[in-house]
């Protein structure tokens, strides 16, 4: 089995997906994947809770009343209860699907992480994160979710090299796009292994950069 890690890297936010499927196509609505809740909590009637509700409302409004695919905002930077929030939509979906995903994220994260100061939630179409510490212009490998691909492969070293090469090339390709061009790219490669029932398998890679 092979593992796949989804993380929220803040200097560069990546959507990176490797699968046995064709390149991802978004469907209406939001396809929930994972969420992360930290172990730092706040009280139900705290100022942080009030600030979080306001910020999530602002995030929802910013997504649903515009064509933004990325947005970040802060609250109370000079107080004892700062709050930082962002969302990022996948580069190959429509504004309508992006808005629907962010709307779902603001609702779901409030339910799934109702008392945590740090949380992140991922969908096929978008991701959202908030924290009481600055998450902008900072390289951060947490929070992240690791999952296992349940399909076996006979040569894991070959697959690992394929993953590294494909994602490195995609990252370089996307980051080299000029200003004003969406930093988003996909690539499809085929791996063939002899003496197997299904000798060739198609793998799809997707990467998206967001500079802050």
What are 161-172's pLDDT values in tens digits? 887 888 888 888
What whole-number distance in Å separates Cα of residue 161 and Cα of residue 154?
A: 14
Look up residue 149 and give its two tokens: 């691909």
End-to-end CA distance of the chain: 35
Percent of the chain with pLDDT over 70: 66
The pLDDT value given to residue 13 = 40
Q: Is 204 helix (H, G, I), strand (E, B) or coil?
A: strand
What whole-number distance in Å separates Cα of residue 144 and Cα of residue 134?
A: 17
**Cα–Cα distances in angstroms (integers) from residue 108 to residues 56, 75, 119, in the given order:** 11, 21, 11
Q: What are phi and psi of 103, to 5 degrees?
A: -60, -45
Q: Which residue ranges form the domains of the chain, and what is each CATH number?
A: 25-148 (3.30.430.20)
What are 6-19's pLDDT values in tens digits? 444 333 344 443 33
Give the pLDDT band (50/70/90) at residue 159.
confident
Most confident of the ranges 51-60, 69-78, 140-149: 51-60
Look up residue 70 and give its two tokens: 């990325």
The pLDDT value given to residue 105 = 92
Q: Are strands 184-192 and 200-208 parallel, antiparallel or unpaired?
A: antiparallel
The pLDDT value given to residue 197 = 44
What are 24-37's pLDDT values in tens digits? 333 456 889 989 89
What whole-number distance in Å separates Cα of residue 211 and Cα of residue 184?
A: 12
């Amino acid at each position: 089995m092979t593992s796949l890690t989804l993380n929220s890297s803040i200097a560069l936010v990546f959507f990176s997906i490797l699968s046995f499927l064709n390149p991802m196509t978004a469907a209406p609505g939001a396809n929930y994947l994972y969420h992360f809740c930290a172990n730092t909590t706040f009280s139900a009637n705290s100022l942080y809770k009030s600030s979080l509700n306001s910020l999530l409302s602002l995030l929802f409004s910013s997504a649903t009343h515009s064509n933004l695919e990325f947005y970040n905002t802060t609250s109370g930077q000079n107080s004892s209860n700062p709050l930082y929030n962002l969302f990022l939509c996948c580069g190959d979906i429509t504004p309508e699907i992006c808005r629907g995903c962010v709307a779902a994220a603001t609702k779901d994260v409030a339910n799934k992480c109702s008392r945590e100061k740090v949380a992140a939630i991922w969908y096929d179409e978008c991701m959202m994160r908030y924290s009481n510490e600055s998450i902008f212009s900072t390289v951060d490998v947490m929070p992240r979710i690791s999952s296992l691909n349940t399909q076996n492969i006979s040569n894991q070293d070959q697959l690992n090299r394929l993953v590294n090469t494909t994602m490195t090339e995609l990252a370089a390709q996307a980051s080299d796009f000029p200003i004003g061009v969406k930093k988003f790219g996909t690539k499809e490669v085929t791996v063939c292994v002899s003496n197997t029932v299904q000798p060739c398998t198609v793998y799809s890679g997707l990467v998206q950069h967001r500079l802050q």
